[in-house]
Amino acid sequence: MPHELLRMLMSTAFILNIIFGVIVVFYERRNPAVTWAWLMVITLIPYVGFIIYLLLGLDSRKYRVFAGKAKKDEEIYEAFMEMDGNRVLREQVDIIHQKNILRVKGAEHLNDMIYLNFFSGSGAYTTNNHLTLFFEGAAKFEALLEDIRQAKRFIHLQYYIVHGDETGRKLIAALAAKAAEGVEVRFLIDGMGCILTPRGFFKPLQAAGGLLAEFMPPHFIRVNFRNHRKICVVDGRVGYIGGLNIGNEYLGLTKRFGYWRDTHVKVTGDAVAHLELRFLMDWNFCSRETISLDGGYLPHIISNGRGAGVQIVSSGPDTAQHNILYAYMKMISEADKSIFIQTPYFVPDDSIFEALRIAALSGIDVRIMIPARPDHPFVYWASLSYLGELLDVGVTCYLYRKGFVHSKLIVIDSLVASVGTANMDVRSFKLNFECNAFIYDAKITRTLEEQYIHDIEDCVRLEREDYLRRSHWTKIRESVSRLLSPLL
């Protein structure tokens, strides 16, 4: 009898696992790599694997929610384009169609990229922008606090992570002080990114009249579809975008990582309006408030050609295309001499991976820099497996040792650069809500390249011979992590 019961239980478990597998195949049919990864988890961890899938993977309902958001975002964007002061943007459509908006000798081929970002990612091309670069958190945070102190009308922020530590308290105190003065303060946080930050931490801001909204509160553990954007706009005159969140960690004040290397940009000029537009779209989705475009939050576009060219491009489940992925692909394919990449996580999809292989085999100087000390071990081992293959085709790979490099940067040919929130991984390409600034300015791109060269001094180069001598245990970890990489 016990043997019959055991056989019955085993048969039931087998049948249930097949049913679980069918459910996964049905819901994940959009992406075969994700489907196979989940099937492996369910097979190797019966019952528990499916519970993990229910908590972390099953989010098909969210696609319908985001489809509604996409429709409203499109309506907001069309209204923005029709605003009286935005005649320049409407005229730009015809110019971009001719693919001759960027008239820089030696960079004419980048007009195709401007065209792509405009018609795929709604990234209008603006030219009268002044950019300030930050390569670490302390300087950016002080600049941000100073601009907050100077605010007269409104402060709009959205951050993926806000820690309830000393740095977070300084920001909340500064925002609360301005709200008490009558300045409109709106703060959008991500539910999962701030899951460890008590909501009472934001009460001083709310008590002073500031508003708080939360993107997809984590009623269950939901690691997918997170708002990973980091944007701040003050009075419509200055904006911030980049990789830095809010907390001691990002100022290099914690023992876990020590020095924190990142890239962030302060923008003044027409591109600020597009950062504000992105904030308004996300705010209207998350809050009970609907902000009208005629409320004075969006300055008119001038674009007089006297500054850096910038396109603000967003992507996520609320966009019809994988806009930032396509822009990265276009940058890599347009490179003629060099491609410099900095990313904390290097888990590319097949298209990016093959594009980098082709670039290296074409004689282009391809360099990739990731942290030597990972914050997510599985992602790190998966990254090493991809880098190992790229070493075979001549890509130069660096492991940053000074602290933790969190910068999301691509620079090609000293002509165009991308700085923003999107990592070089599938999660940023297809699951998270991201926002990047694509910069067309020789001076800025050279500065970014110079900093990259400087960072190499704090790296160890990953040599092919050393990589081939790695232990069998490391090879196993890399293989398993790469198989699971669509889920990381």
Q: What per-residue string of b and e applies to 114-149 under the rule 16 or more CB within 10 Å gives b?
A: bbbbbebbbbbbbbbbebebbbbbeebbebbeebbe
Active site residue 152: no
| Catalytic position from the list 147, 413, 441, 455 | 413
Q: Where are the domains of the chain?
A: 2-58, 62-104+127-305, 323-487
Active site residue 413: yes
Residue 274: CB partners within 8 Å, gap ≥ 6?
A: 123, 124, 126, 312
| Catalytic position from the list 264, 266, 274, 406 | 406
Taking each helix axis from N to C terminus, what angle separates 166-180 and 137-149, rounded to the nearest 10 degrees?
10
Report the CATH fold assignment for 323-487. Endonuclease; Chain A (3.30.870)
Residue 219: CB partners within 8 Å, gap ≥ 6?
A: none
Range from 203-217, 287-301, 325-339, 366-380 carrying the lowest mean pLDDT: 287-301
Three-state secondary structure string covering 11-51: HHHHHHHHHHHHHHHHHCCCCHHHHHHHHHHHHHCCCHHHH
The average pLDDT across 2-19 equals 59
| Catalytic position from the list 163, 178, 264, 408 | 408
| Catalytic position from the list 73, 147, 190, 235 | 235
Q: What is the pLDDT of residues 88-105, one digit of tens each?
A: 666 666 666 666 666 666
Structure tokens at 391: 């070493």
- Backbone φ and ψ for 461, nearest 5 degrees, come out as -80, 135
| Catalytic position from the list 69, 140, 163, 228 | 228
pLDDT value at residue 118 = 87
Rg of the chain over CA atoms, in angstroms? 23
How far is CA 125 from each of CA 170, 252, 424, rounded to the nearest angstrom? 35, 34, 24
Active site residue 408: yes
The average pLDDT across 421-441 equals 94
Active site residue 72: no
pLDDT value at residue 1 = 46
Q: What is the pLDDT of residues 202-233, one digit of tens each?
A: 999 999 999 999 998 876 556 678 999 999 99
Residue 276: CB partners within 8 Å, gap ≥ 6?
A: 156, 233, 236, 239, 297, 298
Question: If we measure between CA atoms, which residue out of 242, 303, 270, 262 comes closest to residue 437?
Answer: 242
Q: What per-residue string of b and e applies to 322-355 under the rule 16 or more CB within 10 Å gives b?
A: bbbbbbbbbbbebbeebbbbbbbbbbbbeebbeb
Distance CA 203, CA 210 (A): 9
The 8-class DSSP code of residue 210 comes to -
- Backbone φ and ψ for 389, nearest 5 degrees, come out as -70, -35
Detail the DSSP E strand segments found in 117-180. 125-136, 154-159
**pLDDT score of 282 more than 80:** yes
| Catalytic position from the list 230, 264, 274, 322 | 230
Report the CATH fold assignment for 62-104+127-305. Endonuclease; Chain A (3.30.870)
pLDDT value at residue 229 = 97
Structure tokens at 425: 């991984």
**pLDDT score of 310 more than 50:** yes
